[in-house]
Amino acid sequence: MLKNIKFRTIGFLILILCTITLCYKYKNSKTQHLSNLNYNTNTYISTNVTDLICNNLRDINNGTFNNSSNIYPYDKFSKIPFLNNSNKNIRYPSRIIYSRGGTPPANDIYKPSTINTSEKQVELLDWNTAKQIFKRDSKAKVIDVYTHKSFNVQRTMGTNHADTETLTKKDTKIIKEIWDGFSWTRRPVIVEIDGRRLAASMSAMPHAGLDSSPAFVMVNNRSAGFGRGQNLDVIKNNDMDGHFDIHFLNSTRHMDGKKDPQHQNAILVASKSH
């Protein structure tokens, strides 16, 4: 009888010793985890918070992550990677993904309240396509990219690019305001026609025509030093002698059939405008 009591006592003591050892190891493990989380273990932490931390530690070991009890020392917009419970793959919050070049969700992008959502996208079209939209004799509105001033024009001729004229004296006046007079300087513009917005480039130097003479008759002293030839001025009484050039992607000059680098560069600028 005494022998049985002795063995039971020894067994009970061994059980107590094992329990103390396991608790000690768990405490050290918990302290190490807290240290890794940058918590100051010398600071008082309530029993409830400590339990939440321990629950999260166990969740991580099990490959899960409980957002509702997460108290990591990171703000909610920059959480560390966490494990997906189904396949243990590392997942990152969307903010981390698009901060490295990914695509943010549409509702997470700042949009100024003054943005004009009615404006359609600017199209960068090859001349072979653009000339089917901005056809001969068709009218359009031209918008200067830098000043946003606009004027009305008509494509009156042109094969390699659009030879164009203003509709009225007022339109010519606006052109001279933008270019500070008539000028060969290329500027990026947007041609609005039939509800579409086409990237283009324009120079504002009227040439090869006389406003005072009928169109296409032979005349001397055509504008811009073009001398004798057909009068390439169709629209009359618009305070402009001759026509000016509007280029589109891959359009070319009439004089040599080559692309004009300055026009092509301006077209690219226009294509990136709004």
Q: What is the pLDDT of residue 4?
A: 60
The C-alpha R_g of the chain, in whole angstroms, comes to 38
Neighbours of 87 (CB within 10 A): 8
Q: Rounded to an integer, what distance in angstroms lies between the CA atom of residue 251 and that of residue 229?
A: 24
Report pLDDT for 218.
98
pLDDT means over runs of 10, the chain (274 residues): 62 68 57 45 40 45 39 33 38 30 33 43 98 98 98 98 99 98 97 98 98 98 97 98 98 96 97 89
pLDDT of 140-171, one tens digit each? 999 999 999 999 999 999 999 999 999 999 99
Q: Beta-strand (E) ranges in the chain? A: 82-83, 90-91, 122-123, 139-144, 150-157, 162-166, 183-193, 196-204, 218-222, 227-230, 244-247
Q: What is the DSSP letter of 80?
A: P
Check residue 239 and give its pLDDT: 98
**119 DSSP 8-state letter:** S
Q: Do 205 and 240 contact (CB within 8 A), yes or no?
A: no
Which of 214, 240, 218 has its CA nearest to residue 229?
218
Q: Can you give the pTM of this predicted structure?
A: 0.58
CA distance 141 to 149: 10
| Tens of pLDDT, residues 114-133 | 333 346 899 999 999 999 99
